[in-house]
Amino acid sequence: MALEHIDIAELDPAHTVVVATGNAHKLVEIEDILGRALPGTRFVALGQLGDFEEPEENGTTFAENAIIKAEAAVAATGLTAVADDSGLVVDALDGEPGVYSARYAGVHGDDAANNAKLLANMRDVPDAERTARFMSVVALIEPSGLVRLGEGACEGTVGHEGRGEHGFGYDPLFLPADTPGKTMAELMPEEKNAISHRFHALQDLCQKLAAEDRGADGTADSAAATTPEASCNAAEEA
């Protein structure tokens, strides 16, 4: 799915959210969920607006890194921006690889090396202690500096060998609790997206935005006051 170039001058700042990504599929996923709480908003990928230098992700938590990326997008465009940061947290390794998931073995994005290091570090860990979770934090930041966060997790365990041809990163080793017997990489994209940590983080943010909207409109028993949150819940049930 190719992303078309967009002239930033043509965008309405009051009704535009920049997604700090060049990934078309991530853009669609974020638009589908957050668009329910932000009707009338246009979501565009940062990569559609030009070539921008990626910020240094030197945070010590997923939230800090998500904020770093969203703040960089706001600074580059002057528009409201959303970004996510995620990784694998393994209980037996005291939370490793965590925020260093993408560069666990030393080189950013070397999935094979990262998976090999993870398996080596867990060689003697018994099945009952191989619990882990994918974690995600989504940050939505306005030009005013207002920050909103959504958090999500996908619980599971780390397998003993990689399986599956889909996904990326640690997907071949991760067995979600929601899909017993299957690794994340053995799931079709629509199956993964329905249980993923980013999906749950976006749902969390969507519900927070809907609650704000309901609070701004008052708590009367009107359809308008409940529709945004209902839309978020509908997205979760879909």
pLDDT at 189: 87
For residue range 7-27, list pLDDT tens digits in order.
999 999 999 999 998 878 788
pLDDT at res. 142: 97
Domain-located, residue 106: yes
Q: How far apart are CA 6 and CA 10, in angstroms?
A: 8
pLDDT score for 22 = 80
Q: Can you read off the two tokens belonging to residue 168?
A: 């990326």
Rounded to 10 degrees, the C-alpha dihedral 62/100/109/56 comes to: 60
Residue 212's CATH number: 3.90.950.10
How confident is the model over 39-64, as a mean pLDDT? 94
Task: Kindly state whether residue 86 falls inside one of the protein's structural domains.
Answer: yes
**Residue 1 within any structural domain of the chain:** no
Number of domains in the chain: 1
Give residues with Cβ within 8 angstroms of 19, minimum separation 6: 26, 27, 30, 31, 43, 44, 45, 46, 81, 82, 83
Q: Residues 28, 15: contact at Cβ < 8 Å?
A: no
Of 84, 85, 171, 204, the catalytic one is 85
Q: Which domain holds residue 213?
A: 8-237
pLDDT tens sequence across 140-182: 999 999 999 999 999 999 999 999 998 889 999 999 999 999 9
Q: Assess if residue 95 is contained within a domain.
A: yes
pLDDT of 26: 83
Residue 12 a catalytic site member: no
- How many Cα atoms within 13 Å fall on the side-chain side of residue 119? 15
Whether 113 is in a domain gets the answer yes
Closest CA to 140 of 227, 41, 53: 41
Would you say residue 3 lies in a domain? no
pLDDT band at 231 (very low <50, low <70, confident <90, very high): low
